Structures are given as structure tokens and as C-alpha cells.
């Protein structure tokens, strides 16, 4: 009997016709029925788990894992750069003055957005306002703010929504607005939303909600288009859902990714991402939610907006990907990160690196590398301003390096005017002993 063929990570076994989860070894076998654990390996370096969530084949959790896998493989945007917004709402009309007790929004310079649920608590002698700004753990007081639209100013609060109101909502903050209805409001002024397609999202904050002007032809066209795009994807998935459960198996989705379309993904890449995220082939995926996410992602694909920047330390490049510790990643938060394939690296005059991937620009400081890339400026044995010896027609002359460009150096011969300055390679330079 031939030995079984396992995937590179040892988590899957080839039966001859399909990949199935590999059986546990004697050391790994659990004493009680196992729980399937979703390891958010999208934020893992060297096997260190950042997020671990017990999913027990929960289709919603598995779908979130699949979305993370698609992000890693570059199949969908991690951060849609130009949200597909509903038709714009009228600009906020600024009043001449506020009264104590008025509800306002404060444009936070730190958060770079409007914060709601703020209140005017006093009017200063100079006409500025003292306001209270509720934060997650405390209430801050801003002592002298003015009416306006710039950072640090206040404006009238968005009108409160009521149960039953028709609205547009940025679904899960992915940057795409879907039509729905306010179902209820919570004490913290977040809302439960019932979307037109049947989905429900709870604890939606004001900032992701826009009023819907249903009598607008532009609004009606937007609603029709977004619903059509989503429905087309759902119907495509329904071909593989013979029982009408609303889910498809991860095994079937694996086959779709690796066998269907003009550019199927390699089996090894999909296996690697599924295994890293703990997605078992017997897991079920909620394809309605997956379709909604795919519509959201596609909305920003053609955008020319700047990519989000993420600062990384303890960085190194392995197999064409950047790995390290990220600060304030917009999707992953703070923690270890493994990026998609690197598109390019540039360095500024201070040797700060900008590592570009499909969706993100990662910034690594001059000393932020565990293992610097081969072309890192600090790997250069010479630096601008350094005194060296330079060979010219068989003799070595005292010189100074004026500029460095890769492995080329603009040198100045000491005692000669600048007309003798020239660019030379490292083969013509020696350190001064």
C-alpha cells in the first residue's frame, strides 16, 4: 500500500480524486469531540496565532475566514480604496449659533472624522463653545470650539433615525452601501439594520448610515444595480446548492477557485490559505454573505486613490512576501502580518522603505528590519560624506563621496575643482585605513 500524499502543511490528504482533512496523529487526537478552530493566519508570523475563534462549522465564521483567504490570495480587495457610495446627501447647513444642550457633531482631528452624540454644555464669553465628546471609556471636554466644517469644529448633529426609516448602510464597513430599513435603535445610539436582501447587521453606528431619498430616480437606479450585482453572484453560487440550504461546502468552493474561470488559482495556494485559516473541507460557507462582500470589494478595484499605509517593524521578506509586526492595520489591527506578493520596494533619503502590495503600502523604518533586503541602503559599505580613496588611471586619490545611488557614487577629488567630480562604481573605491 502506497503512503498517503499530504499537503505541505500536513493538514490535508489526497485521496486520488480530492483533498480531504488529514486524520490526527495519536499525539494530536483529542480526548473529546474536537472543536474546529479558526486561526486567523492572515495575522501570523512563524505560526504565532493572533486571533483564535471557535467556529464549530458556523457558516458565518467560516465565510469570514474564506474572505480573509481571498484577501491573502489577492482575489478581492482588502481595503476598498474608493467606497461605492449612494447618491450624495445635501450638505449640512451651519447655523449662526448653538444653545446649551444642543446635540452636535465634532470633527476630531485625531480620528479624522465626525463624532456624533456630542453636546454643547457651555458658551464661552468669546462666543466659542464648550462641548462634551463621549469616547469608549470616558467623556472628553473640548473647551473652546467654533462652528465650521474643518477639523476641530462643530456642526449640527445628523438627524436621528427612527425605526422603519429607509436608509443606505455601508455593510460591515467594507465600503459599499446597500439599501435597508432601520429595525431598532440601541441605548448607545447604534442601530439594527434589516437589509433588502434579507441580511441583518446589528450595532451599526451612525457614520455608516445615509438617508435614502426613495423618490429620486438616481437612488432607484443605484438600488437596482447593487441588488442586481449581488443577485447574479448568488445565483451563480446556487448552482452548487442543490438542497437550497444557502450554503456551499468549502470543498466545492475549493473546486470553484482552482478549476473554474479564465484564471483559476493553484491548488497549493488555496490549500495553504485554507489550512492557515483553519478552513476544513467539510465546513459550510454562507454564499449570500460572500456574494455581498465580493460586490463590495469589486467596487474599489478600479480606483486610483492612494493605498492605505501601514507601519511595520521586525520586518523581513520571505518568498516574495513581507512579514513582520504591523501597527494599526485597517483590517487586522495590531499584530503579526503576512502580506500578499510584493509589487515593489522604494527607499527615501533616510532609508525608510515603502513596500507596495496590491492593496496596501507597508512602511518600514531604517532600522525596522529583522533581515534587511539585499538592496537596503544600509547594506551599502559607503555613505555620502565619507572620505575614501578612488582609483584614477592606476593611482589612488583622496576623495569624498558626495552622493550615493545604489552601487554608484558621486565622488569629489580632494584638492581639485568640481569639474573633476564623477560617478564611479564600488570597484574603484577603497576605505581609508
Is it the case that residue 125 has pLDDT exceeding 80? yes
Least confident of 153-167, 228-242, 295-309, 409-423: 295-309
Q: Domain check: are 259 and 300 in the same one? A: yes
**What was the pLDDT predicted at 316?**
93
3-state SS class at 247: strand
Q: How confident is the model at residue 155 (pLDDT cuts 50, 70, 90)?
A: very high
Whether residues 345 and 399 fall in one domain: no
Query: In the listed set 264, 290, 305, which residue is the last one of a domain according to the structure?
Result: 305
Residue at which a domain ends, from 379, 396, 422: 379
Higher pLDDT, 172 or 104: 104
| 226 and 295 in a common domain | yes
How much of the chain exceeds pLDDT 70, in percent?
72
Q: How far is CA 388 from CA 91, 115, 422, 427, 433, in A?
A: 63, 58, 14, 12, 9
Under 8 Å between Cβ of 12 and 280? no
Question: What contacts 24+ positions apart, CB below 8 Å, involve 318-324?
Answer: 322/355, 322/357, 322/362, 322/364, 323/45, 324/45, 324/362, 324/364, 324/368, 324/370
Mean pLDDT for the chain?
76
Q: pTM here?
A: 0.43
Residue 42 has pLDDT above 50, yes or no: no
pLDDT of residue 132: 92
Question: Which residues, in sequence order, are bridge partners of residue 390?
Answer: 397, 429
Q: Is the pLDDT of residue 331 over 90?
A: no
Average pLDDT, stretch 186-208? 84
The pLDDT, as a whole number, for residue 297 is 58
Give the model confidence (pLDDT) of 354-383 as tens digits: 999 877 889 998 889 998 888 787 777 888
Decide if 348 is inside a domain: yes
Residue 186 within any structural domain of the chain: no
The full DSSP string for 140-156 is EEEEEEEESSSTTEEEE
Does one domain contain both 118 and 150?
A: yes
Q: Is the pLDDT of residue 2 over 70?
A: no
Task: Give ∠ CA 319-323-324 in degrees, rounded to 5.
Answer: 160
pLDDT at res. 15: 67
In 260-337, where does DSSP find H-type helix?
A: 267-276, 287-299
| Domains identified in the chain, total number | 4
322 found inside a domain: yes
Residue 289, Cβ neighbours under 10 Å: how many?
20
Is the same domain home to 218 and 300?
yes
User: Domain with 241 in it: what CATH number?
Assistant: 1.10.238.10
Positive/negative CA dihedral, 243, 246, 251, 255: positive
Beta-carbon count within 10 A of 166 CB? 16
What's the pLDDT at 264? Answer: 76
Q: At what angle do helices 267-276 and 250-259 cross, to 10 degrees?
A: 150
Mean pLDDT of 204-209: 79
Residues 48 and 69 in one domain: yes
Residue 107 pLDDT greater than 50, yes or no: yes
Report whether 76 contacts 257 (CB < 8 A).
Answer: no
Of 156, 181, 197, which residue constitutes the final position of a domain? 156
Residue 19 in any domain: the answer is: no
How high is the pLDDT of residue 229?
80
Domain that holds residue 423: 387-431
288 occurs within a structural domain = yes
Per-residue pLDDT of 50-82, as tens digits, reads 233 334 456 666 676 666 666 666 555 544 444
In a domain, 191, yes or no: no
281 and 233 in a common domain: yes
Segment 265-280, tens digit of pLDDT: 788 887 877 776 677 7
> Could you identify the residue written with the cell 488559482?
265
Are 218 and 301 within one domain?
yes
Helical axes 59-72 vs 287-299, angle rounded to 10°: 30
Q: Is the pLDDT of residue 174 over 60?
A: yes
pLDDT band with cut points at 50, 70 and 90 for residue 38: very low
> Quick one: pLDDT band at residue 347, thresholds 50, 70, 90?
confident
DSSP alpha helices (H): ranges in 87-240? 217-238
Provide mean pLDDT across the span 128-138. Answer: 84
**Does any domain span residue 182?**
no
- Residue ranges in 39-85 assigned as alpha helix (H): 59-72
**Strands of the sheet with 422-425, listed across from one edge:** 422-425, 408-413, 395-405, 387-392, 429-431
Mean pLDDT of 203-225: 80
Q: Which of 199, 201, 194, 197 is nearest to 164 (CA)?
A: 194
238 plus 274 within the same structural domain: yes
Phi-psi region of 317 (alpha: psi -120 to 50; beta: other; left: phi over 0): beta
> Tens of pLDDT along 285-294?
887 777 777 7
Residue 42 lies inside a defined structural domain of this protein: yes
Amino acid at each position: 500500500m502506497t503512503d498517503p500524499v499530504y499537503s505541505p502543511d500536513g493538514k490535508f490528504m489526497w485521496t486520488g480524486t480530492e483533498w480531504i482533512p488529514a486524520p490526527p496523529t495519536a499525539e494530536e487526537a483529542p480526548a473529546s469531540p474536537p472543536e474546529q478552530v479558526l486561526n486567523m493566519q492572515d495575522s501570523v508570523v512563524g505560526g504565532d496565532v493572533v486571533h483564535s475563534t471557535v467556529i464549530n462549522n458556523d457558516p458565518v465564521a467560516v465565510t469570514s475566514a474564506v474572505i480573509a483567504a481571498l484577501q491573502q490570495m489577492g482575489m478581492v480587495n482588502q481595503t476598498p480604496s474608493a467606497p461605492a457610495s449612494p447618491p450624495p446627501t445635501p450638505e449640512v447647513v451651519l447655523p449662526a449659533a448653538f444653545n446649551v444642550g444642543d446635540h452636535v457633531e465634532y470633527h476630531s482631528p485625531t480620528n479624522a472624522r465626525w463624532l456624533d452624540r456630542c453636546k454643547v454644555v457651555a458658551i464661552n464669553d468669546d462666543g466659542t463653545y464648550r462641548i462634551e465628546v463621549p469616547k469608549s471609556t470616558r467623556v472628553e471636554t473640548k473647551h473652546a470650539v467654533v462652528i465650521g466644517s474643518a477639523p476641530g469644529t462643530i456642526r449640527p448633529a445628523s438627524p436621528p433615525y427612527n425605526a422603519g426609516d429607509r436608509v443606505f448602510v455601508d455593510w460591515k464597513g467594507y465600503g459599499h452601501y446597500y439599501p435597508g430599513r432601520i429595525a431598532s435603535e440601541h441605548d448607545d445610539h447604534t442601530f439594527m439594520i434589516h437589509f433588502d436582501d434579507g441580511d441583518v447587521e446589528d450595532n451599526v453606528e451612525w457614520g455608516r448610515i445615509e438617508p435614502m431619498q426613495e423618490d429620486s430616480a438616481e437612488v432607484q437606479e443605484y438600488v437596482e444595480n447593487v441588488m442586481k450585482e449581488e443577485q447574479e453572484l448568488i445565483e451563480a453560487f446556487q448552482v452548487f446548492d442543490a438542497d437550497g440550504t444557502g450554503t456551499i461546502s468549502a470543498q466545492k468552493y475549493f473546486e470553484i477557485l482552482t478549476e473554474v474561470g479564465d484564471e483559476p488559482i493553484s491548488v497549493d495556494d488555496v490549500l495553504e490559505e485554507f489550512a492557515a485559516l483553519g478552513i476544513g473541507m467539510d465546513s459550510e460557507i454562507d454564499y449570500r454573505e460572500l456574494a455581498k462582500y465580493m460586490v463590495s470589494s469589486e467596487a474599489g478595484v478600479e480606483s486610483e486613490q492612494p493605498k492605505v499605509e501601514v507601519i511595520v517593524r521586525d520586518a523581513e521578506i520571505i518568498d516574495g512576501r513581507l512579514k513582520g509586526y504591523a501597527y494599526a492595520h485597517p483590517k487586522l489591527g495590531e499584530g503579526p502580518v503576512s502580506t500578499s506578493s510584493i509589487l515593489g520596494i522604494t527607499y527615501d533619503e533616510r532609508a525608510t522603505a515603502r513596500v507596495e502590495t496590491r492593496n496596501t503600502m507597508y512602511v518600514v523604518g531604517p532600522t525596522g528590519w529583522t533581515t534587511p533586503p539585499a538592496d537596503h541602503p544600509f547594506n551599502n559599505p559607503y555613505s555620502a560624506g565619507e572620505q575614501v580613496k578612488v582609483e584614477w588611471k592606476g593611482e589612488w586619490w583622496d576623495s569624498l563621496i558626495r552622493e550615493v545611488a545604489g552601487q554608484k557614487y558621486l565622488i569629489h577629488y580632494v584638492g581639485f575643482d568640481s569639474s573633476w567630480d564623477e560617478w564611479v562604481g564600488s570597484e574603484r573605491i577603497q576605505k581609508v585605513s
